[in-house]
Homo-oligomer: A and B are copies of this chain.
Amino acid sequence: MTDHKNGPWTVLDTDTKFENPWLRVEASNVLHPDGSPGTYGVVRFANMACGVLPIDEDGHTWLVGQHRFPLGVYSWELPEGGGRKDTVPETSTLRELAEETGLTAKHTAPLGRWYLSNSVTDEVAFGFLAWGLTQGEARPEPSEALQIERVPVADLLARVRSGEITDAFTHLMVMSAIDLARRGKLPDHIAKWLRDA
């Protein structure tokens, strides 16, 4: 590959330094915007992050608890998972919801699209609100050790605001849902659980 531009950088060459089914690490020799030489390491993600805030008619939601290997800590989060790039994010999200909690949803609304760490990775996250829920059977992957908890939405909001929940993606979905609810952008029977807590 010959030199090419990436915005104000000139890319001299790019090597793959590590690859597994979830990510690929690339190192490029570059000229910085000011012309000085350097390197740039990028972590490219195979999948998109998909997540969902489900709310039922009684104002409850579902949290997933798991040990997060990179941090070495236990973490409670909204249902999240990886979606293939050739699949619509909403489809992957509803599949993940069904696998982890057994829930199917009649209605969804997009909560946002976010680049999680844009100085180093190309990871993109899509969040949805889901309601009109029906409980079926969960089918979690056996290699994952997940706990599932049904909790009042008010509890989720309190645990996000206190910082007990530390997962950025969960914060993004919850805070965006609160903001939509307060601005009258959601059906009132859903908004009331987010707006008044």
Contact = CB atoms under 8 A, between A and B. Distances in A.
A119 B70 contact: yes
A186 interface: no
Nearest to A33: B145
Contacts of A184: none
A163 B20 contact: no
B74 A32 contact: no
Interface string A155-197: 0000001010011110110011011001000000000000000
How many copies altogether?
2
B43 A69 contact: no
Given A75-B118, A115-B71, A18 B7 contact: no
Most buried by B among A43, A44, A119, A171: A119
23 contacts: A17-B18, A17-B25, A20-B41, A23-B43, A30-B69, A32-B143, A32-B144, A33-B145, A34-B143, A43-B43, A43-B121, A45-B120, A49-B117, A70-B121, A71-B118, A113-B166, A114-B166, A115-B166, A118-B166, A120-B123, A161-B179, A171-B176, A172-B175
